[in-house]
Amino acid sequence: MRNLLTLFALSVLLLAGACKKGFEGERNPLSPPETFMAIDTIFRTGENRLTTTVTANWWATSKGGFIKGYEVSVDNGSSWKYTTAQDSTFLLDIPPGKDTADVIILVRAIDNLGQSDPTPASSLFPVKNSAPTVSFVFSQIIAGIPSSNPTNVFPVLRYSITGIDPDGETLQNYELFINDTNGTPFILPGSTTSFMLVSENPKSDSSTCSVFVGNASKALDEKISYLRQGTFNTIYIRAVDKALSKSKFSAAPRIWVKKQSSDVLFINAYNTSKNFVQNFYLQRLAALGVNKVDTMQATEVINSNYTQLQPDVLTQTRTFALFKKIIWVGDDASFTLSLGQRSTASFFDAGGKMYLAVSINSSFDPLSNFLDWTPIRNLVNPPSGSVFRVDNNAIVNPVNPNWPKIKSSQIIPSARPFELPEATPTVGFDSLYAGGIIESKAGQSPAPWTGKSTVIAKRWSKSNNQTNFVISSIPLERFNANNNMDSVFKEIFINQLGF
């Protein structure tokens, strides 16, 4: 009996030992996932290679677990990007200076235990670089307003461009040339969408130019050469991508670049009688010894395009800043005053002096801010139902009795007197000519206007007692009935403005 009990006890111990070994043994780990790609290798050569934008597909299996996500590499495993997707579109890099590359995309699955496939799936994509493109962008006609693509300018040139890399990457840079594409290119940043060339020596036959990117106030350090002045120029550009592939050259329409001949600019903003007005002023100035005057036809339009007006305010501002004195005449107050307001700050900041004569008709908005930059605070409005005009042979008197009286040679139907701004500690304003205004009202006889009637005034600096702005709301070319306009010009342009 004791032997039977002993055998039973040994059997229990053996069984207990067997059970303990079973529970304490190591658990067999799950196998890592296995990754697959739809294509292993794509065989293409030459022009049949793929573009750098490709699409890849993949999937994976897991024994006993499940796939949580994937890691993808396009740089031979140097870096991995996690995704839960099973397909994606890639922009593959081609080494600089190379037109083609065989790029391998690696994918490894990751299971719910964090195990990744130790043997990633791969696909080889034979790709080729696509050459970039670049083109110039030009102003367009909008709501009947002419475009501004100048064909005849002083040596300040503005261009807008658009460059495209079909491979989807940012362009490396642009190569810019003036007239000769065989020279050393001037390098523009790949992010450039517009640039401006400003001559360093606008009075010479040729010049280097400062280059401004976009609306930058500071030019790039390098200068570009070979701008010819007093003749036609052609601007060329081409794009360079990150693989150093270059686009074809894009050429802007050739443009006549004026050679600046003086420090005086005559801006003709008349829409009618342009030649008569310009000759009147230039002849009077020549009689006073001002023989060299540059001219700009601000309102010249050919084929619905302004030929000499710059395409934007900044370019026009830098153009006006080339000069020390400006004579500006026009018959459209809104056009002239709005353009002057936006584009003459640099000119005046540099000590420039201006004479401005513009007809202001009844359609001009008296509440506009176009007068803020002038010696006019506001316009004098006629009483309700009345209009202002100047009759033939009307006398306009000088405030200074030593100046000559002027007399009209015809009826001026849009005469507008004005009020002066209040003087400041640094700036003064004075009336130079007043009177000659007639108030006309239907059913009543015309009568001389007895209210404020200044028609020519000046702004002057109290620091040096010098006049820097003379403005007239009457056209002087129509006020020479006394044949004394040479004397008037001497007072305004020589004695006041220092021409």
Distance CA 234, CA 226 (A): 10
Distance CA 341, CA 218 (A): 23
Cβ atoms within 10 A of the Cβ of 5, count?
9
The pLDDT value given to residue 438: 93
Task: Report helix, strand or coil for 351.
Answer: coil
Per-residue pLDDT of the chain (499 residues; tens, 9 = 90+): 334 334 444 343 333 443 333 344 454 568 999 999 988 778 887 777 888 888 999 999 998 889 999 999 999 999 999 999 999 999 888 887 778 889 999 999 999 999 999 999 999 999 888 889 999 999 999 999 999 999 999 999 999 999 999 887 789 999 999 999 999 999 999 999 999 999 999 999 999 999 999 999 999 999 999 999 999 999 999 999 988 899 999 999 999 999 999 999 999 999 999 999 999 999 999 999 999 999 999 999 999 999 999 999 999 999 999 999 999 999 999 999 999 999 999 999 999 999 999 998 777 876 778 999 999 999 998 998 899 999 999 999 999 999 999 999 999 988 899 999 999 999 999 999 999 999 988 878 889 999 999 999 999 999 999 999 999 999 999 999 999 999 999 999 999 999 9
The pLDDT value given to residue 318: 98
CATH topology of domain 133-257: Immunoglobulin-like (2.60.40)
The pLDDT value given to residue 29: 66
SS (H, E, C) 72-87: EECCCCCCCEEECCCE
Distance CA 224, CA 184 (A): 10
Q: Give the position of tokens 């579109």.
A: 89
Q: Do the bridges between strand 250-251 and strand 255-257 make them parallel or antiparallel, or are there none, so unpaired?
A: unpaired
124: Cα within 13 Å, side-chain hemisphere: 9
CA 129 to chain centre: 31
Distance CA 87, CA 54 (A): 11
The pLDDT value given to residue 221: 97
Under a CB-based contact definition with an 8 Å cutoff, are residues 186 and 224 in contact? Answer: yes
Distances (CA, A) of 291 to 54, 159, 288, 490: 68, 33, 8, 14
Question: CATH number for the 264-496 domain, one of 3.40.50, 3.30.70, 2.40.50, 3.40.720?
Answer: 3.40.50
Q: Where in the chain is the domain with CATH 2.60.40.10?
A: 34-128, 133-257
Distance CA 191, CA 162 (A): 10
Distance CA 297, CA 152 (A): 10
Using CA atoms of 320, 322, 326, 331 in order, give the dihedral in degrees to the nearest 10.
-30
Q: Where in the chain is the domain with CATH 3.40.50?
A: 264-496
Q: What are phi and psi of 15, to 5 degrees?
A: -65, -45
Task: Report helix, strand or coil for 166.
Answer: coil
The candidate with the shortest Cα–Cα distance to 472, out of 431, 438, 439, is 431
Distance CA 64, CA 367 (A): 81
Q: Do the bridges between strand 427-434 and strand 438-441 make them parallel or antiparallel, or are there none, so unpaired?
A: unpaired
The candidate with the shortest Cα–Cα distance to 147, out of 360, 365, 302, is 302
Cβ atoms within 10 A of the Cβ of 100, count?
15
Q: What are phi and psi of 338, to 5 degrees?
A: -70, -40
Strand partners, 127: 50, 101
Distance CA 376, CA 359 (A): 14
Six token digits for residue 367: 């509440």
Distance CA 228, CA 225 (A): 9
Answer whether CATH 3.40.50.1000 is correct for domain 34-128.
no
Q: The pTM is what?
A: 0.82
Using CA atoms of 213, 219, 221, 222 in order, give the dihedral in degrees to the nearest 10.
70
The pLDDT value given to residue 48: 79
